[in-house]
Amino acid sequence: MILTLARASLVRHRARTLLAILGVAVSAAMLLDMVMLATGMRVSFGSLLLSQGFQIRLAPKGTLPFDTDATIPDASHVVRTLMARPDVVAVSPVLGAQLHVEHGATSVSAAALGTIAAVQGDYKLLTGHAPTRDDEIVANDALLTALGANVGDTLRVAAGFDPQLRTFTGQRTLRAVGRVHFIYLAAGERALAMPLESLQAIEGASRTDRASLFMVRLRAGANVESARSAIEQTVHTVSAISTETAIQQVEQRLSYFRQLAFILGSVSLAVGFLLVTTLVTVSVNERLGEFAVLRAIGVRRTRILEQIMLEGAVIMIVGAVAGLGLGLVTARYLNSILAAFPGLPEAISFFLFQPRDAWLSLGLLALCGILAGIYPAWRGASLPIGPTLREEAVA
Amino acid sequence: MTDDGLLVSARGLRRDYPMAGEIVHAVRGVSLDVRSGEYVAIVGPSGCGKSTLLNMLGAIDAPSSGTLTIAGNRVNGLSDREATLFRLRHIGFVFQRFYLMPVLTAMENVELPMAEAGLEKAARRSRARELLTYVGLGERFRHRPTELSGGEQQRVAIARALANKPELLLADEPTGELDARTGAEVIGLFDRLNRDGTTLIVVTHDEELASAARRVVHMRDGVIVDEQHR
Amino acid sequence: MTAALSLPLRAAIAFLVAAQSIDSLPPRHSPRSVAIDERLAADYAIRLGDTIVIAATPAAVGDTVVVSALVRRSRDPSEVARGAYRIRVHLDQLQRLVGYGDRVERFAVGTNGPTATDSSLAAIDAAAFGFRAYSSHEIAVESSTTFLVVSRFHRAIGVITIVASAIFLLCIMLLKVDERRRDVAALRLMGISRRTIVRSVVLESALIAVLGSIAGVALGAIVSAFVNWHYQRVYRTPLTFSLVTAQIVAIAVGISLGLGIFAGLLAAQRLVRRPPLSLFGR
């Protein structure tokens, strides 16, 4: 019967009910977006870092990977030292540089990565094969398109310019043997990869046996933090960064978004609370006479409370479900804006949907709805019967 | 009900409440006995305390002092929960303004107290149908209050009041919102109810309704000043 | 006091960026002087006159230098998230330390005006081999990309917030006005015109909107001040993060007033459209 009463009351004021549902939906959408924003970056960045199975990264001491042009000396010695550790399964040294690339009459600059094909974790092969000879490279679509080149074509690369001699330095003629997708690069960034020693040779004496970064893969079950700490103590020229530390450091730099998420999420909850409180208060105030009569004929106070709370719950649930859809749409739009951050890896998502986020939002909203409705509902169900009936009669 | 047939026994009932900074003595020491099967009308000028007295008799309002026993149960001093349960089981209430749930049909309105009392759906449906037929609304089960006339609404309200077979039926100005013809129909219904064994106490200004009662209690300024038996 | 500091190359080029010295001593002959980031000085308790050793790598011998100035970061948004310290070193010393030879990463060129800038750009590009000349404006645009993204994001959030607020406001206004439908019905039955009732409700909404706008502007100003205080502390920068301008206040007040009045008008119109008796539930 209470279900019937609640349903009938909601249907009686259709416009009001629909508007309240819409209000709750908007609140739910914003809340969901903010929950996604608070966790999305961490989760997607963590997934990205672990996507190739490397748990630790070594960068020049005091820096973050590719934050500066600094490099690590004695790269081969570092690799041997690391591989000697029983908990290390693979080490991928990476050298980064900026090269000048020509194909026919077209020339562009591109990021270059020197890697060891067997252990590299920087790119995924789309077509062709990985470069193994010192005259081979692989490139991404952005570079190939900019040059008007294809897999199999010959490209000329140079490391720099000598303005006095007016010539390129470190020139090589290389063949593109594969098309790749670079995992950590921003969308549209032109890039190529070649064997590490080739890039070191192109860059000249300043880059002999040097690397910008080492990626370390540990065996299953190894303690990442212990390994990280031990490596940093053993190899003095590097800062060892675990995935967790890297995430924390990125989060710290982009902490603004988490704080924004918290603030806007709180505001959404507060407004949702206000909306439900107003709705329940108005709805109850209109029906004080009804509630007094119900109590007069023997309906318990708690039953009346149940009815009012049920009406609120229906609005919250329907609104929350509608808000879920709306939230996903707006999250996609907002993510597309933030994806334009320069240098942001394509795979990073600021708004990442996890079912847990939906449950968290729903739970928060439900709690908020209950708290918002409970006081006006209790008040309405607890008014003295006689005086209320009298006042309602006068009204 | 007690062994001597006494259904309602009120002794020295008082009701005081604050209003605009003063204490209003709405009922001032009323004592009243009502036997099972009686039909009592309480009359008096506006503000004499008759509705307040009725509310106390219906356990809607708690007396400031005095004792009240209904159907052998001490009613004064009950907690809100106990009073609500008492009303559900022992009292039927009819109001001047009907106070039906506008969102429910006539049938659902009558079912309401039975649902609260825990009666199963089939049983309460059947009884609701029976009661609505008794009050002359056998064809109007599915109508909502807005689709019923004033008299029909009041008859639904009476059927609702009878839902849980109360020992006592209380009515506060039941014909106050009705025209003379419809009011006469309701008066006739009350008469029939009483002849069928229902104990009735009505508060009224309506002379027709008062004259239909077997016993008329006159109130003035919060006290009973006269009684007449017919 | 001495401290060994390694010099990431990019960090060492800081001396090309304009900065503001907050304190300095006259440079001495030998050792040579450097200017360090005030955060570095604070974090490592380095004072003016202290000697430190600067080297390109931890293992290198390096140069002993004396700290002759402390430098405050400029109000450059691109510096905000960067935690790296900066030191300013004499060009030749830095070139020698990092083995760069007679090389630099960029030149900053001052000209006599926009015309001179354009002609200089063209001349330099024509003569240059292996580098390009950019106007400061072009650099600013390129390095502003991050903040353009953030601005777009803020605008999007702002629009969503306004739309959401409009819905909430409409919802609450409809509820509150609806609550008074019996009063409205009684007035209509008395002979008060629809127009009078609508005007009264709209006037009330406008008043609430005005008061709300004032409160909102005050709250916004307080929050803006707090945001600046907080993020300047967190990022250790003099940059202003949030700015409340007259134009922003005007837009915010305009929108809130407009929304408030519109919501009141809509709610009132809805109410007066119905016959008075139906408002009594008859």
**Nearest CA-CA distance, residue C57 and chain A, Å:** 8
Residue A82 lies in a domain: yes
Query: A66 and A44, same structural domain?
Result: no
Query: C213 and C126, same structural domain?
Result: no
Residue A246 lies in a domain: no
Torsion angle of alpha carbons A163, A164, A170, A171, nearest 10°?
80
Test A298 with B88 for CB contact under 8 angstroms: yes
Q: Are B89 and B166 in contact (CB under 8 A)?
A: yes
For chain B, which chains pass the contact test of at least 3 CB pairs under 8 Å?
A
Among the listed residues C40, C275, C80, C77, the one whose alpha carbon sits nearest the alpha carbon of residue C181: C275
Query: C248 and C127, same structural domain?
Result: no
Test B104 with A4 for CB contact under 8 angstroms: yes
Domain, as residue range, for A174: 62-236
In what helix (H) or strand (E) does residue C113 lie, and over which residues does it extend? none
Query: C126 and C153, same structural domain?
Result: no
Q: Say whether B92 sits in a helix, a strand or coil.
A: strand
Q: Measured between CB atoms, does B58 come within 8 Å of chain A?
A: yes
Look at residues A209, A236, A263 and tell me which one is the last residue of a structural domain. A236
Rounded alpha-carbon distances, angstroms, from residue B21 to A152, A390, B17, B24: 99, 19, 10, 10
Query: A259 and A329, same structural domain?
Result: yes
Q: Which ipTM was obtained for this model? A: 0.79
Q: Of A206, A337, A341, which is closest to C156 when you measure between CB atoms?
A: A337
Interface test with B, best of A297, A299, A304, A310 (most B CBs within 10 A): A297
Task: Show Cβ contacts of residue C182 under 8 Å, excluding neighbours closer than 6 positions.
Answer: A395, C279, C280
Query: C215 and C121, same structural domain?
Result: no
Query: C210 and C131, same structural domain?
Result: no
Number of domains in chain A: 2
Query: A208 and A326, same structural domain?
Result: no
Among the listed residues B200, B198, B202, the one whose alpha carbon sits nearest the alpha carbon of residue B54: B202
Q: Measured between CB atoms, does A4 come within 8 Å of chain B?
A: yes
d(CA B86, CA B75): 8
Task: Show Cβ contacts of residue B56 under 8 Å, excluding neighbours closer than 6 positions.
Answer: B10, B13, B15, B27, B62, B63, B68
Query: A213 and A113, same structural domain?
Result: yes
Among the listed residues C183, C160, C167, the one whose alpha carbon sits nearest the alpha carbon of residue C266: C167
Look at residues C97, C126, C154 and tell me which one is the last residue of a structural domain. C97
Query: C44 and C25, same structural domain?
Result: yes
Rounded to the nearest angstrom, the gap between the alpha carbon of residue B114 and the centroid of all alpha carbons in its chain is 17
d(CA C205, CA B109): 39
pLDDT truncated to tens, each residue of chain C (282 aa)?
Answer: 333 333 433 333 333 333 334 344 444 457 899 999 988 999 999 999 999 999 987 778 899 999 999 998 777 766 666 667 889 999 999 999 988 888 888 888 899 888 899 898 888 877 766 667 888 888 888 777 878 888 898 888 888 888 888 888 888 888 788 778 878 887 777 777 888 889 988 998 899 889 999 999 999 999 999 989 988 888 888 888 889 999 999 998 999 889 888 988 988 888 888 877 666 654
Torsion angle of alpha carbons C248, C252, C258, C261, nearest 10°?
-150
pLDDT truncated to tens, each residue of chain A (395 aa)?
Answer: 778 888 888 888 888 888 888 888 988 898 899 889 888 888 888 888 888 899 999 999 888 788 778 899 999 999 999 999 999 999 999 999 989 899 998 888 899 999 999 999 999 999 999 998 989 999 999 999 999 999 999 999 988 777 677 777 778 999 999 999 999 988 788 999 999 999 999 988 888 999 999 999 999 999 999 999 999 999 988 999 998 888 887 777 777 788 888 888 888 888 888 888 888 888 888 888 888 989 999 999 999 998 888 888 888 889 988 999 999 999 999 999 988 887 788 888 889 888 888 888 888 888 888 888 888 888 888 888 887 887 765 54
CATH superfamily of the B37-60+76-229 domain: P-loop containing nucleotide triphosphate hydrolases (3.40.50.300)
Q: Please give the single-letter amino acid code of residue A320.
A: A
Strand partners, B35: B6
Residue C155 lies in a domain: yes
Domain residue ranges of chain B, discontinuous segments joined by +: 37-60+76-229
Residue A385 lies in a domain: yes
Residue A55 lies in a domain: no
Number of neighbouring beta carbons within 10 Å of residue A281: 20
Residue C106 lies in a domain: no
Domain, as residue range, for C76: 4-97
Query: C274 and C152, same structural domain?
Result: yes
Look at residues A185, A206, A236 and tell me which one is the last residue of a structural domain. A236
Number of domains in chain C: 3
Residue A23 lies in a domain: yes
Look at residues A236, A266, A296 and tell me which one is the last residue of a structural domain. A236
Question: Longest C-alpha distance within chain C, in Å?
Answer: 100
State the pLDDT at residue C78. Answer: 67
Query: C149 and C275, same structural domain?
Result: yes
Strand partners, A172: A157
Query: A344 and A261, same structural domain?
Result: yes
Query: C136 and C77, same structural domain?
Result: no
Test C160 with A15 for CB contact under 8 angstroms: no
Residue A244 lies in a domain: no
Query: A229 and A87, same structural domain?
Result: yes
Query: C272 and C238, same structural domain?
Result: yes
Query: C271 and C166, same structural domain?
Result: yes
Q: Please give the single-letter amino acid code of residue B9.
A: S
Query: A183 and A67, same structural domain?
Result: yes
Query: C25 and C72, same structural domain?
Result: yes
